């Protein structure tokens, strides 16, 4: 199956200026002559956890697997360069599934000028797993890290949060272009993509930066999906709860100096809204500042490996 898939891929992959040797050898070869720093990220998605192959077009699963990885490049404000794809497939219907997963990836790869450089295909008696590793390159401003937030920095986010399980977790657009735009034109101290959940991912920035954060409850952009999900669940959880904890929003969470945050939110340079939702503070922990005053501790929530 592997040779067959390589042949299929080779017929469909556009040439890429940085890919000197593509699928079919023991490794791909990339031109790095102009690259000072590269970033490497891997994310493995599995059937039954990150998507349900029995319920969706497998192209959407393939697209999601690549998009989630592109979102990690966005979190570093890195330009996509190349990716390799390792597939573990059920023995029955493996080739068709592999083709469908790749068909979901190819348009996204082309859109972000990412070379599909190689891969590995395995069959087994388990569910499908898709592991993608991406190589990107930093811009002249270097990588955007989690560890640079300082007390007083504003918490700035793109887009809206919550309820992604209703469909957005599959069809989201990774904020690659947005991260490059913001990193290039504003001073950013730290960044992460919201995969685990707004509060949990914010806590990752805090942990790496050695500070805390206070979110303005009234400022969080709550997605319509979060409202729909709260209503549908009817379990007492509010749309804000969903926005803070659902995860897989794949939006950017940034630490931005106050002056720059004001400029950024005023200029709104992206197609997606940019919102100031609070500030990084001295000390540890997350807090939720209520619109009517007062603040309460916020337990970071989200899922490490889940839908």
The residues that touch a second copy, with contacts defined as CB under 8 A, are 1-3, 20-21, 24-33, 35-46, 48-49, 72-73, 75-76, 78, 82, 84-88, 117-127, 129, 131, 133-138, 143, 145-147, 192-193, 208, 304-305
7 CB contacts (<8 Å, ≥6 apart)?
Answer: none
What whole-number distance in Å separates Cα of residue 290 and Cα of residue 275?
17
CB of 229 to a second copy, least distance (A): 24
What whole-number distance in Å separates Cα of residue 290 and Cα of residue 141?
36
CB of 276 to a second copy, least distance (A): 22
Residue number, 105 or 121, with CB nearest to a second copy: 121
Q: Which two tokens stand for residue 100?
A: 């469908």
177 CB contacts (<8 Å, ≥6 apart)?
Answer: none
Residue number, 189 or 226, with CB nearest to a second copy: 189
Residue number, 127 or 210, with CB nearest to a second copy: 127
Instruction: Provide the β-strand partners of residue 200.
Output: none
Phi, psi of 191 (to 5 degrees): -160, 155
Any idea what the Cα angle at residue 90 is, between residues 89 and 95, rounded to 5°?
Answer: 65
Cβ(159)–Cβ(249) below 8 Å: yes
Of 6, 30, 15, which Cα lies nearest the Cα of 110?
A: 15
CB of 240 to a second copy, least distance (A): 25
HEC secondary structure over 258-302: HHHHHHHHHHCCCCCCEEEEEEEECCCCEEEECCCCCEEEECCCC
What whole-number distance in Å separates Cα of residue 288 and Cα of residue 29?
48
Residue number, 130 or 274, with CB nearest to a second copy: 130
CB of 1 to a second copy, least distance (A): 7
Q: Which two tokens stand for residue 281?
A: 């503070």
Cβ(220)–Cβ(227) below 8 Å: no
What whole-number distance in Å separates Cα of residue 90 and Cα of residue 292?
54
Residue number, 149 or 217, with CB nearest to a second copy: 149
CB of 124 to a second copy, least distance (A): 5
What whole-number distance in Å separates Cα of residue 62 and Cα of residue 42?
15
CB of 48 to a second copy, least distance (A): 6
Residue number, 86 or 270, with CB nearest to a second copy: 86
CB of 261 to a second copy, least distance (A): 21
Residue number, 169 or 240, with CB nearest to a second copy: 169
CB of 127 to a second copy, least distance (A): 5
Residue number, 75 or 274, with CB nearest to a second copy: 75
């Amino acid at each position: 199956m592997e040779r067959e898939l390589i042949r299929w891929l080779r017929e469909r992959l556009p040439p890429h200026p940085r890919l000197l040797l593509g699928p079919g050898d023991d490794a791909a070869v990339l031109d790095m002559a102009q690259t000072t720093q590269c970033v490497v990220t891997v994310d493995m998605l599995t059937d039954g956890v990150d998507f349900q192959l029995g319920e969706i077009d497998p192209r959407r699963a393939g697209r999601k697997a690549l998009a989630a990885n592109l979102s990690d490049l966005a979190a570093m404000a890195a330009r996509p360069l190349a990716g390799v794809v390792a597939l573990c497939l059920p023995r029955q219907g493996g080739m068709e599934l592999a083709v469908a997963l790749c068909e979901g990836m190819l348009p996204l790869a082309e859109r972000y000028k990412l070379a599909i450089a190689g891969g590995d295909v395995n069959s087994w008696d388990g569910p499908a797993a898709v592991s993608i590793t991406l190589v990107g390159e930093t811009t002249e401003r270097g990588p955007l890290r989690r560890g640079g937030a300082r007390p007083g920095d504003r918490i700035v986010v793109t887009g809206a949060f919550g309820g992604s399980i209703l469909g957005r977790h599959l069809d989201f657009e990774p904020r690659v272009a947005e991260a490059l735009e913001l990193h290039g034109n504003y001073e950013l101290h730290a960044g992460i993509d919201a995969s685990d959940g707004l509060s949990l991912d914010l806590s990752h920035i805090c942990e790496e930066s050695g500070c805390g954060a206070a979110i303005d409850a009234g400022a969080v952009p709550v997605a319509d999906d979060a409202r729909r999900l709260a209503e549908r669940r009817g379990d007492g959880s509010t749309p804000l709860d969903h926005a803070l904890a659902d995860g897989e929003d794949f939006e950017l969470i940034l630490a931005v100096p106050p002056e720059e945050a004001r400029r950024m939110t005023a200029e709104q340079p992206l197609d997606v809204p940019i919102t100031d939702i609070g500030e990084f503070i001295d000390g540890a922990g997350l807090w939720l500042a209520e619109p009517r005053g007062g603040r309460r501790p916020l337990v970071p929530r989200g899922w490490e490996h889940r839908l």
